[in-house]
Amino acid sequence: MARFHFATHTADFDKARAFYRMLGYTEGIGGFPLTNTHQMARALGMFDECQYELAQGEVISLPTSANVANIDLLQFKIPFNPDPPYELPNHLGMAYAALLTTHLDQDFAYLTQQGVRFLSQPYGEVGQRYVFFRDPDGVLYKLMENGPPGPETPANMHLTAMPFIGINVSDLDASLEFYARFGYTQVTPLEQRGGDAAEGRAWGLDGDFQFKGADISIDRGDRHVLRLIQWLKPFNPEPAYPPPINHIGINRIALMVPDVDRAVAILKSQSVPFLSEPAPCCTGTGEDESAIVHAIDPDGVFLELVGGITKRQPLPHPQHCPPLEIKMPTSSITKESNMSALRP
């Protein structure tokens, strides 16, 4: 029905949270458990962990956005993976997210003053320019404009939307067929195009490039957009982040469905692979009426389904594990308010 968020992982939550607040992500939902059930660990591909543990986490939002621009910002403590995110935006997987601005020049100048790392100067003709930048962990974002600058304003940042998330694929036709199973039946082909060395530098590349792709969306709900790109030149065959789902970088997209069990049954009948069984989420008790589970696209991208389930008895904690311990962060936000954010 909708995209709830995409998850990005950080090595320093406080530093990353301050960065995103600077971008305009001033609101968020916190108070989720720092530890959880073994089922939840399995849902993230942490099959050997009795329990995972977060250092901190928050679903942050851009209140001025015209569409859902939520980011699930997490710092894992156990297990922690220090490997850096994708170096360039042509890597297979969820390589970057796009952010729309009404004042690219002002935002570029402001972020430059704040020490933000850009891949280049803004590129393109006025009204259609873009520039890539990195968050403190190196995660890539594409800052874009889709028209002439608006009137001068005193604001530091002028973000208005997250128009799409960029997903690089190895076989565009196979990926279009796969995502159609999830309801992404609205397809807008992107003209096969190339760029010269000057534009290649805007993408962090050493020379010219060529790709083909399509914007895809669901025909109901929030009609959010994913941009699928198959790079023809240069092609990087290195696979997307492997499980477990704790790698620094954009690691998964959370998609809301009315009934997780029904969705899994439908998708399994169409040979969609899953990382685990659905896990009741997210109080830490296993006694939830919502759940998560991760499907895996042809290039290893994790698509989280989140939605309702029939309440069930919690599975026993593995016998070889220490007793289940649920650690909560210091927060004034209640678990019930968090759960209401997950319910369709």
What is the 3-state composition of the chain as percent helix, strand, coil, each rounded to the nearest 5? 15, 35, 50
Quick one: average pLDDT of 226-238? 96
Residue 112 has pLDDT above 70, yes or no: yes
Distances (CA, A) of 50 to 186, 302, 327: 41, 22, 14
Region 239-259 average pLDDT: 97
- How far is CA 203 from each of CA 130, 163, 170, 198, rounded to the nearest angstrom? 10, 18, 18, 9
Output the six-digit token pair for 338: 């968090």
The answer for residues whose C-beta is within 8 angstroms of residue 119's C-beta and 6 or more apart is 131, 132, 133, 134, 201, 202, 203, 204
DSSP 55-91: EEEEEEE-TT-SS---EEEEEEEES-------SSTTB
Q: Which of 196, 255, 217, 243 is nearest to 72 (CA)?
A: 255
Say if residue 60's pLDDT is above 60. yes
**How many angstroms from the chain centroid is the CA of residue 245?**
12
Residue 339 has pLDDT above 70, yes or no: no
Q: For residue 268, what pLDDT is reported?
A: 98
pLDDT single digits (tens) 200-221: 999 999 999 999 999 999 988 8
| Greater pLDDT, 255 or 192 | 255
Q: What is the pLDDT of residue 109?
A: 96
Please tell me the pTM assigned to this model: 0.93
> Which pLDDT band holds residue 303 (cuts at 50, 70, 90)?
very high
Domain range for 207: 2-342
The per-residue pLDDT for 344 is 38
Whether the per-residue pLDDT at 104 is higher than 60: the answer is yes
3-class state of residue 108 by DSSP: helix
Model pLDDT, residue 55: 97
pLDDT, mean of residues 89-97: 97
pLDDT of residue 333: 42
- Which of 14-18, 105-109, 123-127, 340-344 bottoms out in mean pLDDT, i.e. has the lowest? 340-344
Spatial contact of 69 and 213, defined as CB atoms under 8 Å apart: no
Phi-psi region of 223 (alpha: psi -120 to 50; beta: other; left: phi over 0): left
Of residues 330 and 144, more confidently modeled: 144
Question: Whole-angstrom Cα distance, residue 281 to residue 278?
Answer: 9
DSSP track, 232-283: EES-B-PPPPPSSS--SEEEEEEEEEEEHHHHHHHHHTTT--BSS--EE-SS
Computed over every residue of the chain, the mean pLDDT equals 93
Residues 9-42 pLDDT 10s: 999 999 999 999 999 999 999 999 999 999 999 9
- pLDDT given at position 331: 55
Banded model confidence at residue 139, pLDDT cuts 50, 70, 90? very high
Residue 272's pLDDT is: 98
Of the candidates 134, 189, 174, which has an alpha carbon nearest to the alpha carbon of residue 23? 134
| Closest by CA position to 280, among listed 41, 34, 1, 28 | 41
pLDDT value of residue 148: 86
Q: Is the pLDDT of residue 241 over 50?
A: yes
| CA pair distance 295, 253, nearest whole angstrom | 10
Which amino acid appears at position 260 of this protein?
V
Stronger pLDDT, 64 or 132, i.e. the higher one: 132
pLDDT, one tens digit per residue, over 69-85 is: 999 999 999 999 999 99
pLDDT of residue 332: 43
Task: Report how many domains make up the chain.
Answer: 1
pLDDT of residue 336 exceeding 50 = no
Task: Check which CATH number belongs to the domain holding 82 and give it.
Answer: 3.10.180.10
**Which residue has 């000057």 as its token pair?**
198
DSSP string, 170-215: S-HHHHHHHHHTTT--EEEEEEEEEE-HHHHHHTT-SS-EEEEEEE
pLDDT at 90 over 60: yes
Handedness of CA 47, 48, 53, 57 (dihedral sign): negative
Is residue 340 predicted with pLDDT exceeding 50?
no
Return the percentage of the chain with pLDDT > 90, whole number: 87
CB 326 within 8 A of CB 38: no
Q: What is the pLDDT of residues 151-171, one digit of tens each?
A: 777 889 999 999 999 999 999
